[in-house]
A and B are shown apart, each in its own frame.
Chain A
Amino acid sequence: MTKELLKGNVAFAEAAVRNGLQAYFGYPITPQSEALEHFSGRMIELDRVFLQAESEVAAINMVYGAASSGVRVMTSTSGPGLALMAEGLSYIAGSEIPVVVVNMMRGGPGLGNIQPSQADYNFMTKSAGHGNFHPLVLAPANIQEIIDMVGLAFELAEKYRTLVMIAGDGSIGQMMEAAELPPMQEISTARPAWAVTGAVGRAPNLITSLYLGAEKLEKVNIRLQQKLATIEENEIRWQEYETEDAELLLVAYGTVGRICISVLRAARQQGLKVGLLRPQTLWPFPTARINELAAQMQGVLVAEMSAGQMLVDVEHAVAGKTPVRFYGRMGGVIPMSAEILEAVKQVQEEVS
């Protein structure tokens, strides 16, 4: 395989197609509409299911229906659409069926704008809907990574029968980069035993999130929490850059994580011993590793395109071992590496 110049939205859509996606249901929303457009051509061409729904509410419930029958299915959206999907996401989590959702975050609150943002961090990692649950959240920082994460997302969703989200942002969706797509995978015709496929030679299957007895529902909740604990044990992913001798740790994900690689290089050139930890899973979060690294640091700087949402998780991880500072831009503003470098220097000054 060779590398191709690919736009993020097209790249993840084509990666999904090649990972044996059987159905896509979605609703157009900037900055991810190119994905829906790509699916509309490719899925029909391959005689698979594509449907443009009347709303994100309908789209996620179509996904819920299709996933109930054990087929590989996904949708993609951006903040305002994700808010509408919250209902379905909770039902999907409660029913324990595998679903993949891509959220290309844009500026909020409200209609906000269509510029890149990371302001849905709490929304995705802390709940994504009513009740006790949260999805597994993957955070790509470049086009190759989002391609690879699509395959991983399906694998994890099906392994744990859980909801997996890919947290991109407008710039991941819109930028073009050279990347390699996976080979075309055969569609699986096998259906899991729990799926609704028609009760032939077995008792009827039921996909539901309804458990009327309080004790019964508590048991379901306990099982869900145990599943999340297993995921937390096995699926934490992150990347480290020059942390071995670092005295100041940058923590950033996605687009900002990528910008922080430039910040790190510039800081190192100026003699500052800066390291970077870039979470690739936002939930589960690399808490233990950050805590471990905090011991050798004079300070930690968290950079985000939000008011400081991941910051809380980093503070929790650092647990007071070293000062934690924050640099954030909001409303769709992408921070320049020079701005973050300035913030690094300020932290350095403050702690030395």
Chain B
Amino acid sequence: MNTTTQIPENMELVYQYPDSMTKTYTHYCPGCVHGIVHRLVGEVLDELDLREKSIGVAPVGCSVLIYNYFNVDFVEAAHGRAPAMATGLKRTNPDKFIFTYQGDGDLAAIGTAEIIHAANRGELISTVFINNAIYGMTGGQMAPTTLPGMKTTSSPGGRDCKIAGYPIKMSEILAQTEGAAYITREAGTDIRSIRKLKKAIKRAFLTQIEGLGFSCVEVLANCPTNWNMDPWESMLWSKEQMTPYFPLGTYKMREEVKALKV
């Protein structure tokens, strides 16, 4: 943790920026879960002393500028290709900590092949996957994870699964791959879930450090702007509408991963 801050004698330090993060404002919309998840990633990087070992892989989507918020080396991938870039990085830098941070359009549509094969190879990388059921950055189009009947700018009458297919369940799919060591779906929309989410991110990162295989933490998130809701309403909607279709839980956890002290 940051040791440079001067704390007055009569006060106790209770909260500060993680060393792994930069002291800046983010570009995210008010109430967006990205900020929370960034913070958790930063805290875990600090706690595991990974800052100087880390190379992050940024996606295309709302978190395309994630490298502005982390005090670590970063590369900016093409849409969906973060797991391939991470593979190239990890194979040539096995002593480094490589993580990708991807949204649902990036990971579950255009980059489906890359994530499945990275998982199946047991690539020693960790992925944080933000699922908010919509394309945020491009203005609210239908995502591969958009719920049935959900209205978006490209499904104005609501997602018709007969035309557009069904919301894809990535954690369930990734868990099928032999190379995956730890696959879990968490939520970032209430305090209890957020605490659990942090532990999951830590377990995922430790999975890589211990060389146990591929790890991915899916986070059910929100998009107040493109869902046309206020932040509070969007948190509730995520919990009430997304969770039934995308059940929370650990979809794969190898015994060695279970044994990790988190």
Contacts and interface: CB of A to CB of B under 8 A. Distances in A.
Do A and B form a real pair? yes
Contact of B114 (A58, A68, A199): A58
A199 B88 contact: no
A199 B92 contact: no
Contacts of A59: 84
13 contacts: A22-B92, A49-B92, A66-B89, A67-B88, A73-B88, A73-B92, A87-B81, A88-B78, A88-B81, A198-B54, A205-B74, A206-B76, A208-B74
Given A199-B54, A204-B74, A206-B74, 17 more contacts: A22-B92, A23-B91, A54-B113, A57-B81, A57-B114, A58-B84, A62-B87, A66-B92, A71-B92, A73-B88, A73-B92, A88-B81, A198-B54, A198-B72, A198-B96, A204-B73, A206-B73
A337 interface: no
A62 B72 contact: no
B113 A205 contact: no
B48 to A, nearest CB: 14
Interface stretch (B63-71, B128-136, B247-255): B63-71
A69 B93 contact: yes
B41 interface: no
Most buried by A among B58, B76, B113: B76
Interface string A53-87: 11101110111111111010100000000000001
B258 interface: no
Interface in A98-138: none
B62 interface: no
B92 A23 contact: yes
Contacts of A210: 64, 76
A55 B115 CA distance: 12
Nearest to A195: B73
Contacts of B64: 210
Contacts of A204: 67, 70-74
Nearest to B123: A51
Contacts of A67: 88
Nearest to A209: B76
A91 interface: yes
Nearest to A55: B113
Contacts of B117: 53-54, 58
B72 to A, nearest CB: 6
A239 to B, nearest CB: 36
A55 B74 CA distance: 24
B86 interface: yes
A49 B123 CA distance: 13
A65 B52 contact: no
B109 interface: no
B88 to A, nearest CB: 3
B96 A61 contact: no
Interface of B: 51-55, 57-58, 64, 67, 70-78, 81, 84-89, 91-93, 96, 113-114, 117
A69 B55 contact: yes
A63 B88 contact: yes
- The 10 tightest CB contacts between A and B, nearest first, are A65-B88, A65-B85, A61-B84, A208-B76, A62-B88, A66-B88, A196-B73, A61-B81, A54-B117, A58-B84
Nearest to A25: B88
A46 interface: no
Q: Is the interface of A mostly helix, strand, loop or mixed?
A: mixed
Contacts of A209: 76
A68 B52 contact: no
A197 interface: yes
Nearest to A94: B76
A63 B92 CA distance: 10
A277 B204 CA distance: 59
A196 B89 contact: yes
A51 B87 contact: yes
Nearest to B81: A61
B86 to A, nearest CB: 6
A330 interface: no
A206 B92 contact: no
A5 to B, nearest CB: 33
A65 B72 contact: no
Interface in A18-35: 22-23, 25
A199 B77 contact: no
A1 interface: no
Contacts of B51: 199
A214 interface: no
A207 interface: yes
A193 interface: no
A207 B77 CA distance: 9
A207 B76 contact: yes
B75 A207 contact: yes
Scoring A59, A67, A198 by chain B CB atoms within 10 A of each residue's CB, the highest score goes to A198
Contact of B89 (A22, A51, A69, A208): A69
A206 B81 contact: no
Interface in A201-240: 204-210
A28 B51 CA distance: 37
A228 to B, nearest CB: 22
Residue of B53, B58, B92, B93 with most chain A CB atoms under a 10 A cut-off: B92
A53 B76 contact: no
B174 to A, nearest CB: 15
